[in-house]
Amino acid sequence: MATKTAAQRREQARIDYDAFLRSCPSHQLLGRLSDKWVSLVIAALSTGPERYSDLGRRIPGVSPKMLTQTVRTLERDGIVSRTVTPSVPVRVDYELTPLGRSLAGLLTAVKDWAETHFEEVRTAREAYDRENPA
């Protein structure tokens, strides 16, 4: 068939989107921040440096794998720094870089927003659920 299917058109859109992402820094970083654990790790580090296992304990439900993965990408992006102390046993500390601290400030603002407006959201949800009974 000569005419494109909806799927083909959307795939084209995906390609365009990738190109768009490559040329659009902000969306790239925005996407990174949308990761479930990223905000939690940054929040956990915003009060000061933390060891690997302490981090794991402060973020309930995270697996070692995801913790490492998250912390790695954040290190790569220059958001956190990783310090290895070659004692026995080894000790590894993670800490927000200045860059990371500036970002943490913004996330804190979002968190504060969530706290102040949660009541409104809850009310809105209840109203919505009342009007749209399952």
Task: Give the residues across from 94 on adjacent strands.
Answer: 50, 82
Query: Binding a second copy by CB under 8 A: which of 3, 5, 26, 87?
Result: 26
Quote the tokens at residue 129.
């659920």
d(CA 66, CA 60): 12
**Binding footprint of a second copy, residue count (CB under 8 A):** 50
Does residue number 102 form part of the binding site for a second copy (CB under 8 A)?
yes
Q: Find the shortest distance in angstroms from Cβ 116 to DNA.
A: 27
Partner whose binding site includes residue 29, from a second copy, DNA, none (CB under 5 to 8 Å by kind): a second copy
Nearer to DNA, 2 or 90 (CB): 90
Quote the tokens at residue 45.
């580090």
Interface residues toward DNA, by CB under 7 A: 5-7, 10-11, 35-36, 51-54, 61-66, 68-69, 71-72, 82, 84, 89-92
> How remote is the C-alpha of 18 from its chain's centroid?
20
- Which of 106, 98, 94, 97 has its CA nearest to residue 30? 106
Q: Find the shortest distance in angstroms from Cβ 3 to a second copy.
A: 18
CB 73 within 8 A of CB 5: no
Q: Find the shortest distance in angstroms from Cβ 66 to DNA.
A: 4
